[in-house]
Amino acid sequence: MRYTWIDDYLLAKKGVTKDFKEEWNWIRYQIGGKMFAAICLGENDEPYYITLKLEPSEGDFFRAQYKDIVPGYYMNKVHWNSIRPDGEVPDELVKDFLDKSYQLVLEGLSKKKQREILELG
């Protein structure tokens, strides 16, 4: 996988937890119990997709710009996007997407939960 920094990058964010969903063979990153990113593993346990949430118009725009960004793998195709882990999407753009996904899911939590998470660090 090209984006070997993802795990450290996501776990450095406030309130992020990580688990492994065996039935899906996915490494999931969550905030407040809600997934905001996942590394989807293939049959050989190698990363197959990196899945994250974006605003629908932004997802559409970047899908048109990069062949390595596709509608969310096994997810809602409007809000979720998947990136091929050995593709040509620049690291800085992937970081920006991960930041936006984190923010979107955080903002979807109750104000009380948001305060709890942001006061952790």
Q: Which domains does the chain have, with CATH numbers?
A: 6-118 (3.90.1150.30)
DSSP helix/strand/coil, 78: coil
- Rounded-to-integer distance, Cα 103 and Cα 68, Å: 23
pLDDT of residue 121 exceeding 60, the answer is no
CA 17 vs CA 40, 42, 78, 100, 105: distances in Å: 16, 22, 25, 17, 13
Q: pLDDT tens across 13-58, in order?
A: 999 999 999 999 999 999 999 999 999 999 889 999 999 999 999 9
Question: In terms of pTM, does the model score above 0.85?
Answer: yes
Q: What count of other Cβ atoms lies within 10 Å of the Cβ of residue 116?
A: 13
